[in-house]
Amino acid sequence: MGWRLALRPYVLIVPALLLTCGILYPFGLGLYYTLFDFSASKPQPDMVRFENYETVFTQEAFWNSAWVTVLYAVGAAAVETLLGVAVALLLHRSTIVGRVLEKILILPLMIAPVIAAIIWKLMLQPSVGVINYLLRPFGLGGVQWTDTPTGALLSSIAVDVWVYTPFVAILALAGLRSLPTSPFEAAAVDGAGWWYTFRRLTLPMLWPYVLVAVIFRFMDSLKVFDIIYALTEGGPGDSTVVLQIRAYLEAIRFQRYSFGISYTIVLWAVVYLAAMVLVKHLGKIQRKAAEVAAK
């Protein structure tokens, strides 16, 4: 009887465990494949040890992709954070306008990123797209949005920003609403100004919530795929080939499976490292926020 009691949680968790193993298996298999030169043209692969990784790191294409990926992730996360926090602060004033708009804040976030990219692709079309039409009165008619390297990257970031700013705003708003009121009351009694209150109280206490959002956004944009695939397919040239797109091209287009997976494994390592650093930073920020709140 005793052992049956001890076993109960395991019985409950076994199905999930099995399913997890079902997902883990391809992961392991993928890792294993990277040690071979498995491709559609070579279905009986040979062991090549770490040659795939060596090739990855010596390829100029990899460093280009890594650079584009970092630019994309940093750019998207930064703009989303600033814009998201700003929107949250504006909504937190809860004016009538704000309360109405808050109900539809979530909409872009619920649209599949790939669909969002399609929508923007139609709008950014240089000759017939509505954006250039609207810009024409300002003398900016013929912008080649997705047809120049910089324009393509900026356009992709813009789509990311359009989809995910609500995510940051929602978390920041939840954070703003859960801040303790007593420090603000104390500051008001002391006659502190708006800017002082914002910098010394709101921001430090809100920062942990924002950072959680930033971590999620940064991680996710490092492995961006849908938006770029639909908007630019990596073009023009190689200018928006982020790492997952490169992996896709290698593994699926050129059917060099082992080599393609090696790319994703390297990306995984980068994401993991970035997560570690950011989470550590998060701990520090949380302690600081607790100090401010306790004052």
Partner 1 sequence: MSRTTSKKRLLGWLADAALILYFVFALFPIAWMVILSLKPANQLFSTYFSFSPTLDGYRTVLGDSEGIPFVRFFVNSLVVSLGAVALSLLVGLPAAYASARWRFKGSENLMFTLLSFRFAPELTVIIPLFVLYQKLGLFDTYVGMVWVLQLVTLPLIVWIMRSYFADLTPELEQAALLDGYTRKQAFFKVAIPLVKPGIAAVSLLAFIFAWNNFVFPLILTSNEAQTVTVGALSFLGGDRPKYNLTAAAALVSVVPPLLLALTIQRYLVRGLSFGAVKS
Partner 2 sequence: MSTAVALRGIRKTYGKTTALDGLDLEVREGEFFCLLGPSGAGKTTTLKTVAGLELPDSGTVELGGKDMRGVEPYDRGVAMCFESYALYPHKSAYDNLASPLRSPRHRLPAAQARERIGEIAELLGISALLDRPVGRLSNGQRQRVALGRVLVRPARAFLLDEPLSHLDAKLRQQMRAELKAIGAVQHTTTLYVTHDSVEALALGDRIGVIRDGRIVQTGTREEIWYRPCDTEVARAFGRPRINLLPGVVTQDGGFRSADGKVELSVGAQAAPGTDVLIGLRPRDITLRGPGHELTGTVYVTEVLGRSVEVTVRLGEQQVSLVAPRPDTTGLRPDDPVRLSVRPENLLLFEADRPERPGRRIEKSA
CB of 1 to partner 2, least distance (A): 3
When the beta carbons of 5 and 96 are compared against partner 2, the nearer one is: 5
Give the span between the Cα atoms of 139 and 76, in whole angstroms: 27
Q: How far apart are the C-alpha atoms of 285 and 291, rounded to whole Å? A: 10
Helix (H, G, I), strand (E, B) or coil at 120: helix
Helix (H) or strand (E) holding 260: helix 257-294
Smallest gap from Cβ 219 to partner 1, in A, equals 5
The pair of structure tokens assigned to 214 is: 């930033």
Q: What is residue 34's three-state secondary structure?
A: coil
Interaction partner, residue 36 (partner 2, partner 1, none; CB < 5-8 Å by kind): none
Give the x-and-dash track for 144-183 against partner 1 (CB under 8 A). Answer: ------------------x--xxx--xx--x---------
What residues from 8 to 37 belong to the interface with partner 1 (CB under 8 A)? Answer: 8-10, 12-13, 15-17, 19-20, 22-24, 26-27, 29-30, 33
> How many alpha carbons fall within 13 Å on the CB side of residue 21?
6
Tell me the window of 47-55, 74-82, 118-126, 137-145 that interacts with partner 1 (CB under 8 A). 118-126
| CA 41 – CA 22 distance, rounded (Å) | 28
94 binds partner 1 (CB under 8 A): no
The entry of partner 2, partner 1, none that residue 174 binds, CB within 5 to 8 Å by partner kind = partner 1
| Minimum CB–partner distance for residue 200 and partner 1 (Å) | 20
Q: How far is the CB of 34 from partner 1 (least distance, A)?
A: 10
For the segment 3-62, give every residue that binds partner 2 (CB under 8 A): 5
| Cβ proximity of 261 and 244 under 8 Å | no
**1 counts as binding partner 2 under rule CB under 8 A:** yes
Q: Which of 2, 22, 43, 193 binds partner 2 (CB under 8 A)?
A: 2
Compute how many residues bind partner 1; rule: CB under 8 A: 87
d(CA 187, CA 209): 22
Handedness of CA 4, 9, 12, 14 (dihedral sign): negative
Non-local CB neighbours of 6 within 8 Å, separated by 6+ positions: none
Residues 211 to 230: which contact partner 1 by CB under 8 A?
Answer: 212-213, 216, 219, 223, 225-226, 229-230
Phi-psi region of 139 (alpha: psi -120 to 50; beta: other; left: phi over 0): left
Q: How far is the CB of 206 from partner 2 (least distance, A)?
A: 32
Amino acid type, 115 = I
Which one of partner 2, partner 1, none interacts with residue 183, CB within 5 to 8 A by kind? none
DSSP character at residue 122: H
Nearer to partner 1, 53 or 225 (CB): 225
Interface ranges with partner 2 (CB under 8 A): 1-2, 5
